[in-house]
Every structure is written in structure tokens, then in C-alpha cells.
């Protein structure tokens, strides 16, 4: 999987990289300097140090929560557990959340949290203690709440951590009717929504499927339309990488290589993703997967010949150091910040199409928004409507049958008249969101012939939308 994002002495920090991308796009917007400054700056950062008992001793834990933009409330973004967490990283990720939310019309400002721990070397009991204490720290400073700031999973966290956050928050806010909206990515039994776990990976597939459907765009990079038979390399088999791999495979792609911490594996005929996950569970590693070749240095997999390269792990993976050796035609940023500005320059020079993180991985926060809406409305999507829809469809079919004298089979009728469940509504809302957002980005890109990168177009879309909020508030007339 990912190299340590801080291992190489980078010329610029992650936050500076995001600022550089922003500045490149800002010149296309013609907005006043002060307004652009306000959109770009990180509004608040809360740094915490708190003691947690680990074994027989107390350990001081370093943690953060950054709220990048308050132009819309609540702020929103995941919480990362990693030994590489630092303030600059959290601020950069919070900024990306602001732009991401704007692109997919999720009415939130951006935020991100992080705890500097290695979840692999921490027991579940210790993780629970740390998570609950972190939540209390957020509560003390009013940094969490359904209308204030709503965390979610990110690298190293998942449903379990979100359930602990919810439980801690509710203990301090008994009777708060909308309290369940204080965090998303919860288990379904705890107010979560169906489809949230796989949402980022599914969104990656929806985005890519839309992008490769434009004939002229594909011709320009020497590719044919459609996902079928496209060769794909994926870095990271965590939540995002795994579901992206699974859904791309279902669309007919060939996943020819997967890279993880322990190394990478390659099979030009395509890996069976489900079998690989089983193999990893049994052996503790993706290596030595039957039929595949091991690649000792994980990062080397990024340089394989393929149509689509999906970095789905950490930031700073494609830099000026390795960009010239990348052979993929499309770089699909499922992770946040995997390509640095200098890496991007080289890739664009080579004619690569880079699909920016703030668009492509926005499926997660999109479904988080649906979960938050579900929590505030206190009802499961589809619950009130499913039967009513089914009865309408049945009436239509009966009328058509009567008029045509033809009867449908029971199975066929069942398929046509089925009302939508929560998962159907979530997935269709996600698909619509990814398609519509891409059309907006593509329109901006087509309008500016001198705009070289899709990231710049995505930033322009985001900056425009955020600027409208400020102007509507009368702050920057
Ligand atoms: N951590 C995810 C991201 O980077 C999801 C954020 C959310 O659902 O709030 O987009």
C-alpha cells in the first residue's frame, strides 16, 4: 500500500499543495482577492493533548480537529487514525472537504480530524478509550454536534469508532432529538444508512463510468469508451480501494494489480478481488496469491502498464520523483491528495487524464449527507413510500394487461412493480450526484481551452459555489 506520506522530504507541505492547486484555479474565477483569501484560509484548528491509560501507564495522545470553512454549517469530514497525522495534513484534508462538498452540492463546510496513533498496534479496548476521550474533548470545545461539526470515517476508522463517538456524544446530550446526526458512517443499527460503507468506492466507479462514456474525451487520451475490459491497477485495499476494485470488476474491468503495505501482486489476466480478500484474511497478506506474481516493492505497481491507475490509500504517492514512470492513461484519485502539484505537471505533460480527489471520492460524504438527513427526519428512506409506489405500479400494469389482453409472469411483474428500498434510493441519489457533478466540471473545462487540468476545473466549480454563499450573506458584495 501507500508509502509513508511524510517519508520523502517534500518541497511543499500537503496544505501548501492544496493552496497551490487553489491558486491555479482562482485566476479563472475573476473574484475579488479578499473573497478568494477567505475561501482559501482554514478557519479553525483545535489541537489536543490528552492522557489515556495504555497498559499500566498513561500515554499522552496528540489529536486534531480542523474546520476549514464555516460558510455552510455544520462542517463535515472524517477522522483519521494514523501515526503520520499532523496539523498540516488535517488542515489540507479539511480544505479538500470544503471543495468536495461544494462540488457535489452537499451543504456543509469542510472539516477533518486526526489522532496520531497506529490502530494496528493498539488494542480495541485502547482504541475505544482514545475515541471516547477525543469525543469528550470535542464536546468540551463545542467542536461536535449535528448543527456544528459532524465527523465520519476516514483512513484507519470505520463504523465501530463512529458508534463509540455517537454513544459518548449522546451520554453528554441526553434527549437531544437530533443527536444521532452528530456523526455519520455509523452502523445501520445505530442510525447509520445502508450503502454508506461502500459509498466512496461505488462513487469512484460511477464517476469513472461517466467519464469514460465521452467518445471525444477518450479519443484524446487514446482510449475507447466504456469500462469493459479496461485494465486497472489499485493502490490500497482498505475500504475505498476494496469497494472500488469490486465495483470496477463488476463493470467488466480487469484488476491487473493491487498494491498494499506488504507488497503488490500482478496478474495480467485479472485478479479475483473477493478471493484475494479471503486470501488476505487467511494469510495476513495479499502476497503469494495463486496465479499472481509478487512485486516486492509496493510502489513499483503504480508504474505498470494499464488504462486506469487508482491510488486509494494516502497522499503524496505520485510526485516529481515517480510521475515520469507512470504509464496509466487515467489517474483516478480515490485517495485524498495522492498526486502532488509537481507530479501533476509531469503527468499532464505526458497526456494523462487526472480525475481529482475532490470530485472522484465525494461519494462518501454524499451518502454521509443522506445519513444526516435520515437522522434529522427520523425515518428510513423509502419507509413511507414503498407500498404506495408498488400499488401505483400494480394498477398501471393491471390496466396495460387489461387493454392488451396479455398477462405478465409473476416474476416479471414483481420486478417492474417493486418499490424502492433505502439502499436503492441511496445508490440512485449517489449515481445522480456523481453524474451531475462531472457534467458541471466538464462544462467548465470545455469553456476554458487554456485549462490544462480537470482539477483546476473542479476547483473553479467549487470556488464559484462557495463565493455565492459569501455574496448571499452580503459579506463580499
Ligand atoms: N473521510 C471521507 C472523505 O474524505 C468522508 C467524509 C464524510 O463522510 O464526512 O471524504
The closest-lying atom of ligand 1 relative to the alpha carbon of residue 78 is: 1
Ligand 1 close to Cβ of residue 336 (< 6 A): yes
If one residue of 67, 161, 315, 364 were mutated to test the ligand 1 pocket, choosing by the most ligand atoms within 8 A of its CB, it would be 364
pTM score > 0.85 for this model? Answer: yes
Ligand 1 close to Cβ of residue 181 (< 6 A): no
404 C-alpha vs ligand 1 centroid, how far in Å? 51
Q: For every one of its 477 residues, what pLDDT tens digit does the chain have, with 9 covering 90 and above?
A: 445 555 555 689 999 999 999 999 999 999 999 999 999 999 999 999 999 999 899 999 999 999 999 999 999 999 999 999 999 999 999 999 999 999 999 999 999 999 999 999 999 999 999 999 999 999 999 999 999 999 999 999 999 999 999 999 999 999 999 999 999 999 999 999 999 999 999 999 999 999 999 999 999 999 999 999 999 999 999 999 999 999 999 999 999 999 999 999 999 999 999 999 999 999 999 999 999 999 999 999 999 999 999 999 999 999 999 999 999 999 999 999 999 999 999 999 999 999 999 999 999 999 999 999 999 999 999 999 999 999 999 999 999 999 999 999 999 999 999 999 999 999 999 999 999 999 999 999 999 989 999 999 999 999 999 999 998 888 776
Pairing of strands 109-115, 308-311: unpaired
Q: Which residues of 353-381 are buried (b: 16+ CB within 10 A; e: fewer)?
A: bbbbbbbbbbbbbbbbbbbbebbeeeeeb
One of 3.30.56.10, 3.40.50.10860, 3.50.50.60, 3.40.1710.10 is the CATH number of 43-190, namely 3.40.50.10860
159 C-alpha vs ligand 1 centroid, how far in Å? 13
Task: Check 24, 100, 112, 374 and give the catalytic one.
Answer: 112
Give the single-character DSSP code of 318.
B
78 C-alpha vs ligand 1 centroid, how far in Å? 5
Ligand 1 close to Cβ of residue 301 (< 6 A): no
Q: Is 329 annotated in the active site?
A: no
Question: In the structure grid, which three cell numbers stand for residue 379, read together?
Answer: 425515518
Say if CB 375 and CB 119 are below 8 A apart.
Answer: no
30 C-alpha vs ligand 1 centroid, how far in Å? 30
Ligand 1 close to Cβ of residue 76 (< 6 A): yes
Beta strands in 181-340 (DSSP E): 231-235, 254-260, 263-266, 293-295, 308-311, 330-332
Query: How far is the C-alpha of 20 from the C-alpha of 317, rounded, in Å?
Result: 17
Amino acid at each position: 500500500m501507500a508509502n509513508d506520506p511524510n517519508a520523502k522530504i517534500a518541497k511543499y507541505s500537503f496544505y501548501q499543495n492544496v493552496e497551490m492547486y487553489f491558486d491555479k484555479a482562482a485566476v479563472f474565477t475573476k473574484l475579488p482577492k479578499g473573497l478568494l483569501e477567505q475561501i482559501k484560509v482554514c478557519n479553525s484548528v483545535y489541537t489536543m493533548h490528552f492522557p489515556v491509560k495504555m497498559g499500566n501507564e498513561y500515554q499522552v495522545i496528540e489529536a486534531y480537529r480542523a474546520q476549514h470553512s464555516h460558510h455552510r454549517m455544520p462542517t463535515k469530514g472524517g477522522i483519521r487514525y494514523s501515526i503520520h497525522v499532523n496539523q498540516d495534513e488535517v488542515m489540507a484534508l479539511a480544505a479538500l472537504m470544503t471543495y468536495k462538498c461544494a462540488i457535489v452540492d452537499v451543504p456543509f463546510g469542510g472539516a477533518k480530524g486526526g489522532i496520531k496513533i497506529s490502530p494496528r498496534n493498539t488494542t480495541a479496548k485502547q482504541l475505544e478509550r482514545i475515541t471516547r476521550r477525543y469525543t469528550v474533548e470535542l464536546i468540551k470545545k463545542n467542536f461536535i454536534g449535528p448543527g456544528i461539526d459532524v465527523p465520519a470515517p476516514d483512513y484507519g476508522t470505520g463504523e465501530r469508532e463512529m458508534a463509540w463517538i455517537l454513544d459518548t456524544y449522546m451520554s453528554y446530550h441526553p434527549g437531544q432529538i437530533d443527536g444521532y446526526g452528530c456523526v455519520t458512517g455509523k452502523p445501520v443499527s445505530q442510525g447509520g444508512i445502508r450503502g454508506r460503507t461502500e459509498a466512496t468506492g461505488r462513487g469512484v466507479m460511477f464517476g469513472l463510468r461517466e467519464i469514460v462514456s465521452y467518445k471525444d474525451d477518450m479519443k484524446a487520451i487514446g482510449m475507447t469508451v466504456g469500462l469493459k475490459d479496461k485494465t486497472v491497477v489499485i493502490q490500497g485495499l482498505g475500504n475505498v480501494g476494496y469497494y472500488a476494485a469490486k465495483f470496477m470488476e463488476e463493470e467488466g474491468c480487469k484488476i491487473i494489480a493491487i498494491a498494499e503495505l506488504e507488497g503488490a501482486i500482478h496478474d495480467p489476466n485479472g485478479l479475483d478481488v473477493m478471493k484475494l480478500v479471503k486470501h488476505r484474511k487467511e494469510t495476513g497478506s495479499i502476497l503469494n496469491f495463486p496465479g499472481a506474481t509478487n512485486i516486492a516493492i509496493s510502489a513499483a505497481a503504480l508504474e505498470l502498464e494499464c488504462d486506469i491507475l487508482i491510488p486509494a490509500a494516502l497522499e503524496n504517492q505520485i510526485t516529481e520523483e515517480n510521475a515520469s514512470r507512470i504509464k496509466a492513461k487515467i489517474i483516478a484519485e480515490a485517495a485524498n491528495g495522492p498526486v502532488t502539484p509537481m507530479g501533476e505537471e509531469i503527468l499532464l505533460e505526458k497526456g494523462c487524464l487526472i480525475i481529482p480527489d475532490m470530485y472522484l471520492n465525494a461519494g462518501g460524504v454524499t451518502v454521509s449527507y443522506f445519513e444526516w438527513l435520515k437522522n434529522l427526519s427520523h425515518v428510513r428512506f423509502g419507509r413511507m413510500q414503498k407500498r404506495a409506489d408498488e400499488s401505483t405500479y400494480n394498477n398501471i400494469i393491471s390496466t396495460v394487461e387489461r387493454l392488451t389482453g396479455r398477462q405478465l409472469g409473476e416474476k416479471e411483474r414483481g420486478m417492474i412493480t417493486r418499490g424502492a428500498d433505502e439502499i436503492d434510493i441511496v445508490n440512485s441519489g449517489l449515481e445522480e450526484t456523481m453524474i451531475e457533478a462531472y457534467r458541471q466540471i466538464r462544462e467548465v473545462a470545455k469553456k476554458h481551452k487554456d485549462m490544462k487540468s480537470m482539477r483546476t476545473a473542479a476547483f473553479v466549480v467549487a470556488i464559484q459555489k462557495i463565493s455565492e454563499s459569501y455574496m448571499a450573506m452580503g459579506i463580499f458584495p
